[in-house]
Amino acid sequence: MKTLLENISIFGKKSNILIEDQIISSLGEMPAQQALIFKLGGLFAIPGCIDPHTHIRDLGQSYKEDWNSASQAALAGGYTMVFDMPNTIPPTTTPEHLQLKRNAAKKATIHKKFFLGATNHNIHEVEKMLATRAEDIAGIKLFMAGSSSNEVVDKEEDLIAYARLAKQYDKVLAVHSENQACIQASERLHADKDHARWHNTIRSRECAILSTRQILDISAKVGNELYLVHTSLAEEIDMVRQHKAKGTRVWCEIMPHHLLLDESILETAGNYGKVNPPIRTARDNEALWEAIRDGTVDTLGSDHAPHSLEEKARPYAQAPSGFPGLETSLALMLNQVKLGNISLERVVELTSQAQNRIFRLGDRGLLKPGAPADLAIIDLDARHVVEPARFRSKAKYSPYQGMELWGKVMMTLVDGEIRYKAPEMA
Ligand code: DOR
Ligand code: ZN
Protein backbone atom coordinates (compact mmCIF):
# COMPACT_ATOMS: atom_id res chain seq x y z
CA MET A 1 0.00 0.00 0.00
CA LYS A 2 1.37 3.40 -1.07
CA THR A 3 0.09 6.82 -0.08
CA LEU A 4 1.31 10.08 -1.57
CA LEU A 5 0.80 13.39 0.22
CA GLU A 6 1.32 15.83 -2.61
CA ASN A 7 2.44 19.45 -2.54
CA ILE A 8 2.62 19.84 1.22
CA SER A 9 4.83 22.18 3.28
CA ILE A 10 7.46 20.56 5.46
CA PHE A 11 9.48 22.94 7.60
CA GLY A 12 8.84 25.81 5.19
CA LYS A 13 9.56 23.90 1.97
CA LYS A 14 7.02 22.53 -0.54
CA SER A 15 7.41 18.81 -0.86
CA ASN A 16 5.71 15.45 -1.28
CA ILE A 17 5.62 12.62 1.21
CA LEU A 18 5.53 9.05 -0.07
CA ILE A 19 4.44 6.46 2.47
CA GLU A 20 5.05 2.76 1.89
CA ASP A 21 4.47 -0.04 4.37
CA GLN A 22 3.84 2.30 7.31
CA ILE A 23 7.11 4.14 6.74
CA ILE A 24 7.97 7.50 5.17
CA SER A 25 9.83 6.12 2.16
CA SER A 26 10.83 9.40 0.56
CA LEU A 27 10.35 13.16 0.48
CA GLY A 28 10.51 15.52 -2.47
CA GLU A 29 9.85 14.84 -6.16
CA MET A 30 8.53 11.42 -7.03
CA PRO A 31 6.31 9.61 -9.50
CA ALA A 32 2.98 8.72 -7.97
CA GLN A 33 2.29 5.39 -9.54
CA GLN A 34 -0.32 3.20 -7.90
CA ALA A 35 -0.58 5.39 -4.86
CA LEU A 36 -3.54 6.81 -3.01
CA ILE A 37 -3.00 10.52 -3.68
CA PHE A 38 -3.96 13.46 -1.51
CA LYS A 39 -3.40 16.93 -2.95
CA LEU A 40 -2.62 19.06 0.05
CA GLY A 41 -1.51 22.42 -1.33
CA GLY A 42 -1.45 25.05 1.41
CA LEU A 43 -1.27 22.55 4.26
CA PHE A 44 1.68 21.66 6.49
CA ALA A 45 2.92 18.26 7.59
CA ILE A 46 4.48 17.88 11.01
CA PRO A 47 5.44 14.79 12.98
CA GLY A 48 2.43 13.42 14.88
CA CYS A 49 2.57 15.03 18.31
CA ILE A 50 3.76 12.97 21.26
CA ASP A 51 2.08 13.91 24.52
CA PRO A 52 4.42 13.03 27.37
CA HIS A 53 1.79 13.75 30.03
CA THR A 54 -1.77 12.40 29.94
CA HIS A 55 -4.17 10.80 32.40
CA ILE A 56 -6.14 8.34 30.29
CA ARG A 57 -8.06 6.84 33.29
CA ASP A 58 -9.92 3.72 32.00
CA LEU A 59 -10.21 0.69 34.34
CA GLY A 60 -11.87 2.02 37.52
CA GLN A 61 -12.52 5.47 36.04
CA SER A 62 -13.58 4.67 32.51
CA TYR A 63 -16.59 6.96 33.01
CA LYS A 64 -14.08 9.85 32.88
CA GLU A 65 -12.15 8.53 29.86
CA ASP A 66 -11.03 5.24 28.32
CA TRP A 67 -8.44 4.30 25.74
CA ASN A 68 -11.04 4.51 22.99
CA SER A 69 -12.29 8.01 23.71
CA ALA A 70 -8.75 9.16 24.54
CA SER A 71 -7.46 7.82 21.20
CA GLN A 72 -10.21 9.67 19.33
CA ALA A 73 -9.40 12.88 21.21
CA ALA A 74 -5.67 12.46 20.59
CA LEU A 75 -6.09 11.86 16.86
CA ALA A 76 -8.42 14.85 16.46
CA GLY A 77 -5.82 16.95 18.26
CA GLY A 78 -2.88 15.84 16.08
CA TYR A 79 -1.39 13.39 18.62
CA THR A 80 -0.16 9.96 17.56
CA MET A 81 1.42 8.86 20.84
CA VAL A 82 0.69 9.49 24.50
CA PHE A 83 2.40 8.65 27.78
CA ASP A 84 -0.06 7.70 30.49
CA MET A 85 0.38 8.72 34.12
CA PRO A 86 0.10 6.12 36.90
CA ASN A 87 -2.59 7.70 39.12
CA THR A 88 -5.32 5.49 37.73
CA ILE A 89 -7.58 3.10 39.64
CA PRO A 90 -5.81 0.81 40.26
CA PRO A 91 -2.55 2.80 40.18
CA THR A 92 0.38 1.59 38.07
CA THR A 93 2.39 0.68 41.15
CA THR A 94 2.83 -3.11 40.76
CA PRO A 95 3.56 -5.50 37.87
CA GLU A 96 -0.01 -6.84 38.15
CA HIS A 97 -1.55 -3.40 37.85
CA LEU A 98 0.73 -2.56 34.93
CA GLN A 99 -0.55 -5.66 33.19
CA LEU A 100 -4.17 -4.61 33.79
CA LYS A 101 -3.38 -1.25 32.23
CA ARG A 102 -1.68 -2.85 29.25
CA ASN A 103 -4.77 -4.97 28.66
CA ALA A 104 -7.10 -1.96 28.87
CA ALA A 105 -4.83 -0.03 26.49
CA LYS A 106 -5.07 -2.68 23.78
CA LYS A 107 -8.07 -0.80 22.39
CA ALA A 108 -5.94 2.30 21.75
CA THR A 109 -5.54 3.40 18.13
CA ILE A 110 -2.49 5.52 18.94
CA HIS A 111 0.93 4.60 20.30
CA LYS A 112 1.39 4.67 24.04
CA LYS A 113 3.80 4.24 26.91
CA PHE A 114 3.19 4.02 30.64
CA PHE A 115 4.78 5.75 33.61
CA LEU A 116 5.33 3.60 36.70
CA GLY A 117 3.92 5.05 39.92
CA ALA A 118 6.27 5.67 42.84
CA THR A 119 4.94 5.56 46.41
CA ASN A 120 6.55 5.64 49.84
CA HIS A 121 6.39 1.85 50.05
CA ASN A 122 6.61 0.21 46.59
CA ILE A 123 10.15 0.78 45.36
CA HIS A 124 10.77 -2.96 45.03
CA GLU A 125 7.68 -3.30 42.86
CA VAL A 126 8.86 -0.43 40.66
CA GLU A 127 12.27 -2.08 40.38
CA LYS A 128 10.64 -5.38 39.31
CA MET A 129 8.82 -3.56 36.52
CA LEU A 130 11.96 -1.70 35.41
CA ALA A 131 13.98 -4.92 35.45
CA THR A 132 11.79 -6.31 32.65
CA ARG A 133 13.22 -3.50 30.45
CA ALA A 134 9.83 -3.42 28.73
CA GLU A 135 9.68 -1.05 25.74
CA ASP A 136 6.37 0.44 26.85
CA ILE A 137 7.70 1.89 30.12
CA ALA A 138 8.20 5.66 29.78
CA GLY A 139 9.85 6.22 33.16
CA ILE A 140 9.01 6.61 36.85
CA LYS A 141 6.41 9.18 37.95
CA LEU A 142 6.56 10.58 41.42
CA PHE A 143 4.11 13.01 43.02
CA MET A 144 5.63 15.08 45.84
CA ALA A 145 2.11 16.21 46.79
CA GLY A 146 -1.40 14.80 46.59
CA SER A 147 -3.23 15.98 43.51
CA SER A 148 -5.82 13.55 42.21
CA SER A 149 -6.07 9.97 43.49
CA ASN A 150 -2.32 9.62 43.81
CA GLU A 151 0.05 8.57 46.56
CA VAL A 152 2.83 10.86 47.65
CA VAL A 153 6.59 10.48 48.01
CA ASP A 154 7.66 13.22 50.39
CA LYS A 155 10.52 11.84 52.47
CA GLU A 156 14.01 12.92 51.43
CA GLU A 157 15.44 9.38 51.67
CA ASP A 158 12.69 7.98 49.44
CA LEU A 159 13.21 10.75 46.88
CA ILE A 160 16.93 9.91 46.79
CA ALA A 161 16.21 6.17 46.46
CA TYR A 162 13.95 6.78 43.44
CA ALA A 163 16.49 9.12 41.86
CA ARG A 164 19.11 6.37 42.19
CA LEU A 165 16.76 3.74 40.79
CA ALA A 166 15.94 5.91 37.78
CA LYS A 167 19.63 6.39 37.15
CA GLN A 168 20.41 2.70 37.52
CA TYR A 169 17.80 1.78 34.89
CA ASP A 170 18.51 4.77 32.67
CA LYS A 171 14.92 6.04 32.85
CA VAL A 172 13.67 9.55 33.51
CA LEU A 173 12.28 10.40 36.93
CA ALA A 174 9.19 12.49 36.17
CA VAL A 175 8.27 14.64 39.16
CA HIS A 176 5.13 16.54 40.10
CA SER A 177 6.70 19.19 42.28
CA GLU A 178 4.58 20.70 45.03
CA ASN A 179 5.40 20.31 48.73
CA GLN A 180 2.77 18.22 50.52
CA ALA A 181 3.19 19.60 54.06
CA CYS A 182 3.20 23.17 52.74
CA ILE A 183 -0.01 22.60 50.78
CA GLN A 184 -1.77 20.96 53.70
CA ALA A 185 -0.86 23.89 55.97
CA SER A 186 -2.01 26.36 53.35
CA GLU A 187 -5.29 24.50 52.86
CA ARG A 188 -5.96 24.74 56.60
CA LEU A 189 -5.13 28.44 56.60
CA HIS A 190 -7.49 29.13 53.69
CA ALA A 191 -10.27 26.72 54.65
CA ASP A 192 -12.83 29.54 54.27
CA LYS A 193 -12.03 30.13 50.59
CA ASP A 194 -14.67 28.55 48.45
CA HIS A 195 -14.01 29.46 44.83
CA ALA A 196 -11.41 28.39 42.25
CA ARG A 197 -10.22 32.02 42.07
CA TRP A 198 -8.27 31.21 45.27
CA HIS A 199 -6.61 28.05 43.90
CA ASN A 200 -3.30 29.78 43.15
CA THR A 201 -3.30 31.29 46.64
CA ILE A 202 -4.04 27.99 48.35
CA ARG A 203 -1.66 25.79 46.33
CA SER A 204 0.84 28.60 46.67
CA ARG A 205 3.95 29.32 44.65
CA GLU A 206 6.04 28.94 47.81
CA CYS A 207 4.90 25.31 48.09
CA ALA A 208 6.07 24.52 44.54
CA ILE A 209 9.34 26.45 44.88
CA LEU A 210 10.27 24.46 48.01
CA SER A 211 9.87 21.06 46.37
CA THR A 212 11.43 22.08 43.05
CA ARG A 213 14.55 23.29 44.88
CA GLN A 214 14.68 20.00 46.80
CA ILE A 215 14.30 17.66 43.82
CA LEU A 216 16.72 19.65 41.66
CA ASP A 217 19.35 19.46 44.40
CA ILE A 218 18.80 15.72 44.80
CA SER A 219 19.09 15.08 41.06
CA ALA A 220 22.19 17.26 40.81
CA LYS A 221 23.85 15.07 43.46
CA VAL A 222 22.59 11.69 42.25
CA GLY A 223 23.07 12.43 38.55
CA ASN A 224 19.74 10.98 37.39
CA GLU A 225 17.64 12.45 34.59
CA LEU A 226 14.94 14.60 36.17
CA TYR A 227 11.86 15.34 34.06
CA LEU A 228 10.12 18.23 35.79
CA VAL A 229 6.48 18.02 34.74
CA HIS A 230 4.19 21.03 34.23
CA THR A 231 6.69 23.68 35.34
CA SER A 232 4.56 26.73 36.07
CA LEU A 233 6.53 29.45 37.90
CA ALA A 234 9.11 32.09 37.03
CA GLU A 235 11.18 31.03 40.07
CA GLU A 236 11.16 27.37 38.97
CA ILE A 237 12.26 28.37 35.48
CA ASP A 238 15.16 30.33 36.98
CA MET A 239 16.23 27.32 39.05
CA VAL A 240 16.02 25.00 36.05
CA ARG A 241 18.03 27.43 33.94
CA GLN A 242 20.77 27.59 36.58
CA HIS A 243 20.87 23.84 37.02
CA LYS A 244 21.07 23.24 33.27
CA ALA A 245 23.98 25.70 33.10
CA LYS A 246 25.90 23.73 35.70
CA GLY A 247 25.17 20.39 34.06
CA THR A 248 22.28 18.93 36.08
CA ARG A 249 20.41 16.49 33.84
CA VAL A 250 17.01 18.18 34.05
CA TRP A 251 14.30 18.33 31.43
CA CYS A 252 11.60 20.98 31.67
CA GLU A 253 8.01 20.29 30.58
CA ILE A 254 5.38 23.02 30.39
CA MET A 255 1.65 23.03 29.61
CA PRO A 256 -0.32 25.45 27.39
CA HIS A 257 -2.45 26.63 30.32
CA HIS A 258 0.59 27.81 32.31
CA LEU A 259 1.87 29.61 29.22
CA LEU A 260 -1.32 31.15 27.85
CA LEU A 261 -3.71 31.64 30.79
CA ASP A 262 -3.41 33.54 34.04
CA GLU A 263 -5.42 33.20 37.22
CA SER A 264 -7.95 35.84 36.16
CA ILE A 265 -9.54 33.16 33.92
CA LEU A 266 -10.84 31.44 37.08
CA GLU A 267 -13.40 34.21 37.64
CA THR A 268 -15.31 32.88 34.65
CA ALA A 269 -13.97 29.34 34.21
CA GLY A 270 -14.37 28.43 37.92
CA ASN A 271 -13.69 24.74 38.53
CA TYR A 272 -13.17 24.12 34.80
CA GLY A 273 -9.86 25.92 35.28
CA LYS A 274 -8.98 24.20 38.57
CA VAL A 275 -5.76 22.28 37.93
CA ASN A 276 -2.61 21.32 39.82
CA PRO A 277 -0.28 23.12 39.78
CA PRO A 278 -2.68 26.06 39.49
CA ILE A 279 -2.90 28.50 36.62
CA ARG A 280 -0.49 31.22 37.75
CA THR A 281 0.10 34.89 36.84
CA ALA A 282 0.94 37.01 33.79
CA ARG A 283 4.52 37.32 35.11
CA ASP A 284 4.84 33.52 35.02
CA ASN A 285 3.42 33.40 31.46
CA GLU A 286 6.18 35.80 30.42
CA ALA A 287 8.88 33.74 32.18
CA LEU A 288 7.70 30.61 30.35
CA TRP A 289 7.80 32.43 27.00
CA GLU A 290 11.34 33.59 27.73
CA ALA A 291 12.27 30.00 28.63
CA ILE A 292 10.81 28.75 25.34
CA ARG A 293 12.93 31.30 23.51
CA ASP A 294 16.21 30.55 25.31
CA GLY A 295 15.82 26.75 25.25
CA THR A 296 15.21 26.21 29.00
CA VAL A 297 11.87 24.58 28.16
CA ASP A 298 12.20 21.17 26.50
CA THR A 299 8.72 19.77 25.99
CA LEU A 300 5.07 20.73 25.84
CA GLY A 301 2.60 18.32 27.43
CA SER A 302 -1.16 18.64 27.69
CA ASP A 303 -1.81 17.24 31.19
CA HIS A 304 -4.98 15.80 29.68
CA ALA A 305 -6.84 15.16 32.97
CA PRO A 306 -10.49 14.39 32.24
CA HIS A 307 -13.18 14.41 34.92
CA SER A 308 -16.96 14.22 34.66
CA LEU A 309 -19.13 17.32 34.46
CA GLU A 310 -20.92 16.21 37.63
CA GLU A 311 -17.61 16.11 39.50
CA LYS A 312 -16.58 19.52 38.19
CA ALA A 313 -19.95 20.98 39.23
CA ARG A 314 -19.25 20.26 42.92
CA PRO A 315 -18.27 23.10 45.26
CA TYR A 316 -14.66 24.25 44.74
CA ALA A 317 -13.07 22.23 47.54
CA GLN A 318 -14.66 18.95 46.43
CA ALA A 319 -14.21 19.37 42.67
CA PRO A 320 -11.28 17.38 41.23
CA SER A 321 -8.41 19.18 39.52
CA GLY A 322 -7.66 18.96 35.82
CA PHE A 323 -9.26 19.35 32.41
CA PRO A 324 -8.88 17.70 29.00
CA GLY A 325 -6.03 18.94 26.82
CA LEU A 326 -5.54 16.57 23.90
CA GLU A 327 -7.96 18.42 21.62
CA THR A 328 -6.74 21.92 22.40
CA SER A 329 -2.97 21.83 23.05
CA LEU A 330 -1.60 21.72 19.51
CA ALA A 331 -4.33 24.07 18.21
CA LEU A 332 -3.45 26.61 20.94
CA MET A 333 0.18 26.52 19.85
CA LEU A 334 -0.67 26.76 16.14
CA ASN A 335 -2.64 29.89 17.03
CA GLN A 336 0.54 31.28 18.60
CA VAL A 337 2.42 30.43 15.38
CA LYS A 338 -0.14 32.37 13.37
CA LEU A 339 0.12 35.30 15.79
CA GLY A 340 3.90 35.33 15.27
CA ASN A 341 4.83 34.44 18.86
CA ILE A 342 6.61 31.17 18.07
CA SER A 343 7.84 29.37 14.96
CA LEU A 344 6.26 26.16 13.71
CA GLU A 345 9.72 24.56 13.96
CA ARG A 346 9.87 25.35 17.69
CA VAL A 347 6.38 23.91 18.19
CA VAL A 348 7.51 20.71 16.44
CA GLU A 349 10.58 20.58 18.68
CA LEU A 350 8.38 20.93 21.79
CA THR A 351 5.70 18.46 20.71
CA SER A 352 7.67 15.61 19.13
CA GLN A 353 11.40 16.01 18.49
CA ALA A 354 12.37 16.62 22.12
CA GLN A 355 10.24 13.65 23.21
CA ASN A 356 12.07 11.53 20.62
CA ARG A 357 15.42 12.38 22.21
CA ILE A 358 14.49 12.44 25.90
CA PHE A 359 12.51 9.19 25.81
CA ARG A 360 14.78 7.52 23.22
CA LEU A 361 12.06 6.68 20.72
CA GLY A 362 14.26 5.62 17.82
CA ASP A 363 12.85 7.26 14.68
CA ARG A 364 9.36 7.81 16.11
CA GLY A 365 8.55 11.51 16.28
CA LEU A 366 10.80 12.46 13.36
CA LEU A 367 9.64 13.44 9.89
CA LYS A 368 12.30 11.91 7.64
CA PRO A 369 12.74 9.04 5.22
CA GLY A 370 12.83 5.74 7.08
CA ALA A 371 10.79 6.98 10.05
CA PRO A 372 7.33 5.60 10.92
CA ALA A 373 4.65 7.61 9.10
CA ASP A 374 3.07 9.20 12.19
CA LEU A 375 1.96 12.60 10.90
CA ALA A 376 -0.34 15.50 11.59
CA ILE A 377 -1.53 17.55 8.61
CA ILE A 378 -2.44 21.07 9.63
CA ASP A 379 -4.00 24.18 8.15
CA LEU A 380 -2.61 27.33 9.75
CA ASP A 381 -5.21 29.51 8.01
CA ALA A 382 -8.29 27.68 9.24
CA ARG A 383 -10.12 29.36 12.08
CA HIS A 384 -12.21 27.55 14.65
CA VAL A 385 -13.85 28.02 18.00
CA VAL A 386 -13.14 25.74 20.98
CA GLU A 387 -16.41 23.90 21.53
CA PRO A 388 -16.06 21.41 24.38
CA ALA A 389 -19.51 19.93 23.66
CA ARG A 390 -17.96 18.51 20.47
CA PHE A 391 -14.85 17.02 22.09
CA ARG A 392 -14.19 13.33 21.43
CA SER A 393 -12.95 13.16 25.00
CA LYS A 394 -15.63 12.18 27.49
CA ALA A 395 -14.74 15.35 29.42
CA LYS A 396 -16.77 17.99 27.61
CA TYR A 397 -15.55 21.15 29.32
CA SER A 398 -12.55 23.43 28.99
CA PRO A 399 -11.23 26.73 30.33
CA TYR A 400 -10.68 27.62 26.65
CA GLN A 401 -14.38 27.31 25.81
CA GLY A 402 -15.45 29.86 23.19
CA MET A 403 -11.90 30.88 22.30
CA GLU A 404 -11.34 31.51 18.61
CA LEU A 405 -8.13 30.01 17.24
CA TRP A 406 -6.17 30.03 14.03
CA GLY A 407 -4.84 26.63 13.01
CA LYS A 408 -6.56 23.30 12.73
CA VAL A 409 -5.65 19.63 12.46
CA MET A 410 -6.97 18.35 9.11
CA MET A 411 -5.64 14.79 9.11
CA THR A 412 -3.74 12.49 11.45
CA LEU A 413 -1.88 9.39 10.30
CA VAL A 414 -0.55 6.60 12.48
CA ASP A 415 1.89 4.19 10.85
CA GLY A 416 0.82 5.51 7.46
CA GLU A 417 -2.89 4.93 8.07
CA ILE A 418 -5.28 7.89 8.08
CA ARG A 419 -6.99 7.61 11.46
CA TYR A 420 -8.52 11.09 11.58
CA LYS A 421 -9.90 13.41 8.93
CA ALA A 422 -11.49 16.78 9.70
CA PRO A 423 -15.01 17.12 8.27
CA GLU A 424 -13.60 19.59 5.67
CA MET A 425 -11.40 16.83 4.24
CA ALA A 426 -14.19 14.32 3.65
O1 DOR B 1 -4.81 18.88 37.96
C2 DOR B 1 -4.32 17.76 37.98
N3 DOR B 1 -5.06 16.67 37.67
N4 DOR B 1 -3.06 17.62 38.37
C5 DOR B 1 -2.53 16.41 38.62
O6 DOR B 1 -1.40 16.34 39.03
C7 DOR B 1 -3.33 15.19 38.47
C8 DOR B 1 -4.43 15.40 37.51
C9 DOR B 1 -5.46 14.31 37.52
O10 DOR B 1 -5.07 13.13 37.48
O11 DOR B 1 -6.65 14.61 37.52
ZN1 ZN C 1 -0.79 15.42 35.32
DSSP secondary structure, 273-335, as one string: G--SSPP--HHHHHHHHHHHHTT---EE---B----HHHHTS-GGGSPP-B--TTTHHHHHHH
Of 161-165, 357-361, 396-400, 421-425, the least confident:
421-425
**Which residues form ligand 1's pocket by a CB distance below 6 Å?**
55, 87, 147-148, 176, 275-276, 305, 320-322
Count H helices, E strands: the chain? 15, 16
**Ligand 2 centre from 246 Cα, in Å?**
28
Ligand 2 midpoint to CA 416 (Å): 30
Q: What pLDDT, on a 0 to 100 scale, did the predictor assign at position 393?
A: 98
> In the chain, where does the domain assigned CATH 3.20.20.140 lie?
48-358
Distance between CA atoms of 179 and 35, rounded to whole angstroms? 56
Residue 318's pLDDT is 96
The predicted structure's pLDDT at residue 32: 60
Question: How far away, in angstroms, is 57 Cα from ligand 2 center?
Answer: 11
Q: Which ranges in the chain are annotated with CATH 2.30.40.10?
A: 2-45+370-425
Q: Ligand 1 atom closest to Cα of 320?
A: 11
Helices (H), 339-383: 344-348, 354-358
Residue (of 10, 109, 53) closest to 414 by Cα position: 109
Instruction: Using the predicted structure, report yes or no on whether residue 35 has a pLDDT greater than 90.
Output: no
Question: Which one-letter DSSP state was computed for residue 349?
Answer: I
Q: Which residues surround ligand 2, an ion (CB under 5 A)?
A: 303
Q: Give the pLDDT score at 150.
A: 75
Average pLDDT over residues 248-270: 98
Contact 132, 125 (CB under 8 A): no
Coil, strand or helix at 8? strand
Atom number, ligand 1, closest to the C-alpha of residue 307: 11
Give strand pairing partners of 360: none
CA–CA dist 53, 83 (Å, integer): 6
pLDDT of amino acid 12: 83
What does 117-175 look like in DSSP terms, one character per residue? EP-TT-HHHHHHHHHTT-TTEEEEEEESS--SS------HHHHHHHHHHHHHTT-EEEE
Residue nearest to atom 4 of ligand 1 (CA): 276
143: confidence class by pLDDT, cuts 50, 70, 90: very high
CA atoms of 242 and 208, how far apart (whole Å): 17
**Cα Rg of the chain, angstroms:** 21
Q: What is the pLDDT of residue 242?
A: 98
CA 115 to ligand 2 center in whole angstroms: 11
- Residue 83 C-alpha to ligand 2 middle, in angstroms? 11
Q: Which of 148, 228, 231 to mutate to test the pocket of ligand 1 (most atoms within 8 A of CB)?
A: 148
79/233 Cα distance (integer angstroms): 26
Buried b (16+ CB within 10 A) or exposed e, 255-291: bbbbbbbbbebbeebbbbbbbbbbbbbeebbebbbeb
**Rounded CA gap, 74 and 50, in Å?**
9
Lowest mean per-residue pLDDT among 9-23, 113-127, 405-419: 9-23
Question: What is the spatial distance between Cα 118 and Cα 141, in angstroms, rounded to a whole number?
Answer: 6
At 155-213, the pLDDT tens digits run: 999 999 999 999 999 999 999 999 999 999 999 999 999 999 999 999 999 999 999 99
How high is the pLDDT of residue 386? 98
CATH class, 2-45+370-425 region: mainly beta
Cβ atoms of residues 53 and 253 within 8 Å:
yes
Sequence-distant (6+) residues with CB within 8 A of 135 are none
Query: Residue type at 239?
Result: M
Ligand 1 pocket test: pick from 63, 147, 230 the residue with the most ligand atoms within 8 Å of its Cβ.
Answer: 147
The pLDDT assigned to 149 comes to 63
328, pLDDT greater than 80: yes
Whether the pLDDT of residue 353 is over 90: the answer is: yes
Ligand nearest to the CA of 64: 1
pTM flag (> 0.85): yes
Q: What's the CA gap between 62 and 214, in Å, rounded?
A: 35
Q: 320 alpha carbon to ligand 1 midpoint, in Å?
A: 8
**Per-residue model confidence (pLDDT) at position 286:** 98
- Average pLDDT of the residues in 4-21: 91
Q: Which CATH architecture has domain 48-358?
A: Alpha-Beta Barrel (3.20)
Query: Predicted confidence band at 343 (pLDDT cuts at 50, 70, 90)?
Result: very high
List, for residues 225-235, the tens digit of each pLDDT value.
999 999 999 99
**Predicted pLDDT at 31:** 65
Please give the Cα distance from 318 to 371 (Å, whole number): 46
Per-residue pLDDT averaged across 378-386, rounded? Answer: 96
